[in-house]
Amino acid sequence: MVNKVAVGQKVRAAKINEIIDQLAPNVFTRTATDIGSSSTFAALALGTAVGGADFSHAAGVYTCLRAGFYEARLTLSFEANATNIRGARMLGSGSLGTRAQVITALSASLDQTMSIGWVVSLAVNDTITAQAFQNSGGNLEVAGHIVFARIT
């Protein structure tokens, strides 16, 4: 929850930093790296942390460190290939459920990007796993990011 400050009230730098930290999205990115052809979803490490401190991560699993409502959004871009399908999925721990999207390959010359999102209430130590798959018959590069934006 963000605290309100009255007009003219002095605000200490530590309090300003605390408020900024509460609003900073948690972003993890992945540069283009090959993933193998498969017919099943597998964890996808998006491990370079860009901002925020509400989540820890290991091997594609993101653990909530501060309870609250979050908008979770996974965006992946697959390199161009016209064969078969691509998929992205966020798998929540316990009763959180799953959000997924699968698309058919369209073009041998255009990268394909997909984005899935969901607003979810997370308790401390709840996890969300980022997963992907593609079944083109060979390796494809995939890049992307996952963002957890704190709502409350």
- Please say if the pLDDT value at position 152 is more than 80: no
In a domain, 90, yes or no: yes
Model confidence pLDDT, tens digit, residues 75-109: 999 998 888 999 999 999 987 888 888 888 878 88
CB of 36 closer than 8 Å to CB of 44: no
Q: How confident is the model at residue 1, as a pLDDT?
A: 46
Residue 145 belongs to domain spanning: 25-150
| Burial (CB count within 10 angstroms: exposed 0-12, middle 13-18, buried 19+), residue 46 | buried
In a domain, 6, yes or no: no
In a domain, 97, yes or no: yes
Of the pLDDT bands very low, low, confident and very high (cuts 50, 70, 90), residue 2 is: very low
In a domain, 19, yes or no: no
In a domain, 20, yes or no: no
The CATH number of residue 107's host domain is 2.60.120.40
Q: How confident is the model at residue 92, as a pLDDT?
A: 92
Q: Is the full-model pTM beyond 0.85?
A: no
- The torsion region of residue 84 among left (phi > 0), alpha (psi -120 to 50) and beta comes to left
State how far the Cα of 30 lies from the Cα of 144, in Å rounded to an integer: 5
- Please say if the pLDDT value at position 57 is more than 60: yes
Q: In sequence order, what are the residues at sequence separation of 6 or more whose Cβ sits closer than 8 angstroms to the Cβ of residue 73?
A: 115, 116, 117, 146, 147, 149
In a domain, 134, yes or no: yes
In a domain, 55, yes or no: yes
In a domain, 89, yes or no: yes
Of the pLDDT bands very low, low, confident and very high (cuts 50, 70, 90), residue 71 is: very high
Query: Count of domains in the chain?
Result: 1
| Burial (CB count within 10 angstroms: exposed 0-12, middle 13-18, buried 19+), residue 144 | buried
